[in-house]
Amino acid sequence: MGNLGAQFKGDPASIPPAPGTAPVPPGMVRFNHYTSDEAIPGIREHGLQRSYSEEKYAHGGTESPQIFATAGAPSANLLQARPVVEGWANPARPQRGEYDRPGTMDVGENWRGDPPEEHAKYLEERKSVITFHNDVPANQILAIHEPWHESARYFQKDAGGRNFNGKQFASARSDVARGEHDNLSDDPNYGPALHATKVTNAATVMLGGKL
């Protein structure tokens, strides 16, 4: 699930749906988990692995060896600062003994026995911290949002120009097409976003569209 194939920065096809918009299965909890650039390839291939957190902890890391996440969609501030993994997890309450656990969560597990959809909504509305007692596989990862994706979404919005109080203003995409932001081409965040927008603009024009 999700757009997790081999990608490169600036590839417009690699920009995932906006955070919070990809559907999750009924009764599952949407979560976000911040990560690092170097961890992204492994997450794309394997998902979130508890062994990775345990290894970091064993080598002197200060964080708990558990996998931590926050229920719900990521905040705008976090998206602009760090790569963010968006996925879903099963909060089902254990049913038949200590080691027979249908869910994947420690903190946030549905011990009260609420209807699954109600419990998921409860956690997401409160942006609850949750933890996992095992791995979160790649097929439960909805997207990996990188900071440049947010910039690309900004550059690509309002195609065709914006109208404000009867005055016509250029769209962000039109600004990019005219080269107004080319001075940012070498920026690690804005550079890939500009490239993705220019590729999208060129494809739009080739297909007969207008910016």
pLDDT in tens, 50-76: 876 655 544 555 456 678 999 999 998
Residue 180's pLDDT band (cuts 50, 70, 90): confident
pLDDT at residue 96, as a whole number: 55
Give the C-alpha separation, 4 to 172, whole Å: 27
- Whether 176 and 201 have beta carbons less than 8 Å apart is answered as yes
pLDDT at position 123, please? 97
Residue 116's alpha-carbon distances to 46, 109, 125, 147, in angstroms, are 26, 10, 14, 32
d(Cα 148, Cα 171) in Å, to the nearest integer? 19
Q: 15: which strand partners?
A: none
Q: Which of the four pLDDT bands, split at 50, 70 and 90, describes residue 35?
A: very high
- Please tell me the distance from the alpha carbon of residue 7 to that of residue 22, in angstroms, as a whole number: 19
